[in-house]
Structure 1
Amino acid sequence: MNSPIETALTLPCDDAVRAAEAAAAGAAFSQAQKLLGDRPGPQSDPEQWNVAVQLLAFRIECAAGFNALGSVIGLRRWGATWELIARAAGTTRQAAHTRWSAQVRATLDRYGTGEMGGPVADDERDLSD
């Protein structure tokens, strides 16, 4: 019979990790909405508010040390540039691109056509500066 400690050290926990990451992302998003306050009125751009919430949630995730890939993918889908993502992450555009671009491209360009569709910012050109 396995001891509880041996069980704890050997149980597969991939599903639990994914559930914890999803819960953390949800909590970061809720906190971001709370910090930003009410959604602006009908005269304002609701898309800009949505991007702002996502950026703030991403900042919270980064500061808490969470895996923020889902937020980066969401931000790219909303049209956020690598420069904007880098500012939110507190890093350089090149560092943000190096860290997340391959995973973002693999997710958004599932067929390998180079087309990610939607409003993804067209800033994949040379980022060596």
Structure 2
Amino acid sequence: MDDLVEMALTADIAHRVPAVTVVAMAEVGRQADEIVGVGPLPGTPEWEAEAGTDLPARRQLAWQLACLRLELGAGLDGVETVIVLRGSGVTWAVIGRAAGVTRQSAHERWGARVAAVLDRYGTGMPESVADDDPVAAD
């Protein structure tokens, strides 16, 4: 086999993968900005007009859901985004819809890892987390 091919097939890439992931995640955010749009700049009349409305929160939710779809489409895991979504009160049904799976499948894929972060001491999920555990609900 060619030396260059052998080098490509056997090189230690473990220390390079995180750098690729960081770049991919930055691009996910940029693409989500293009899909959802960015909010107005603080202090502008548009920003003032949104103050006191639910539009900034809805925009943030839409941005996170777009990020999850992009992450999954790019072959990334998306667990960090799912943790943020669950911590913000998003249901497994909405997360499953974004992932193109059922709520049960979304829960099976990410539920334990989400719980490990949001309920690290086993004392219960924060009040902000939707009470829609498919296992408990069935």
TM-score between the two structures when normalised by the length of structure 2: 0.75
Indicate the residue corresponding to 2:128 in structure 1. 119
Q: Residue 119 of structure 1: CA displacement?
A: 1.5
Partner of 2:61: 51
Q: Could you say which residue in structure 2 is the equivalent of 1:68?
A: 78
Gaps of 5+ in 2: 41-49
Q: Which moved more, 1:13-22 or 1:68-77?
A: 13-22
Which of the two has higher C-alpha Rg?
Answer: 2
1: CA distance, partners of 2:61 / 2:28: 14
What's the offset of the Cα at 1:44?
Answer: 3.2
What is the rounded CA distance, in whole Å, between the counterparts of 1:21 and 1:121 in structure 2?
Answer: 29
What fraction of aligned residue pairs are identical, expressed as a percent?
41
Range with greater deviation from structure 2 (3-12 or 79-88):
3-12
CA distance in 2, matches of 1:27, 1:88: 18
TM-score (normalizing by structure 1): 0.79
- Aligned partner of residue 126 in structure 1, secondary structure: helix
Residue 121 of structure 1: CA displacement? 1.4
Verify the 8 A CA contact 1:82 1:97 in the aligned structure 2.
yes
1:72 deviation in Å?
0.8
CA contact (8 A) 2:104 2:134 kept: no
